[in-house]
Amino acid sequence: MSFIIPGVFGVTVAIILAVVGLAIYPIKRKKYRNEFMKRIDAICERFNNLMMFEFEKVVDRVIEDIGNKMSAYRDTRWSEREEINRQINDLKSLSERTKELMRKGSHK
């Protein structure tokens, strides 16, 4: 009978430790999981903020480049328009002179 008592005592202690362990382990596990998820959420938030900041910088740079190219294109178009208007005025004056010369030549 004396060999059964330590066995029963050992089993009882093992059961008590198992119950305590199985009761505490899920609580700790849940706590660690919640802490882990909070850290992951914080890292995700920082990553999203960083990506949005970089994306906005790239978009601003692209918009600025487009504006600069449009400005250069507009300047080129404006100078071409001025040159064409000058040439049209030159052609008009040549046309007027030609008509004048033709009138003088036909009156003689």
CA distances from 79 to 4, 52, 85, 86, 93 (A): 109, 40, 10, 11, 21
pLDDT value for 21: 74
Please tell me the total number of residues recorded for the chain in this structure: 108
73-100 pLDDT, tens digit per residue, is 888 888 888 999 999 999 999 999 998 8
* pLDDT over 70, % of the chain: 92
Q: pLDDT class for 8, splitting at 50, 70, 90?
A: confident
Q: Which residue has the higher pLDDT, 20 or 52?
A: 52
Measured CA to CA in angstroms, residue 12 lies from 2, 65, 84 at distances of 16, 78, 105
Q: SS3 for 72? A: helix
pLDDT at 5 over 90: no
pLDDT of residue 91: 93
**Which residue has better confidence, 104 or 2?**
104
Kindly report, residue by residue over 27-41, the tens digit of the pLDDT. Answer: 777 888 899 999 999
pLDDT the model gives residue 6: 61
The DSSP output letter for 13 is H
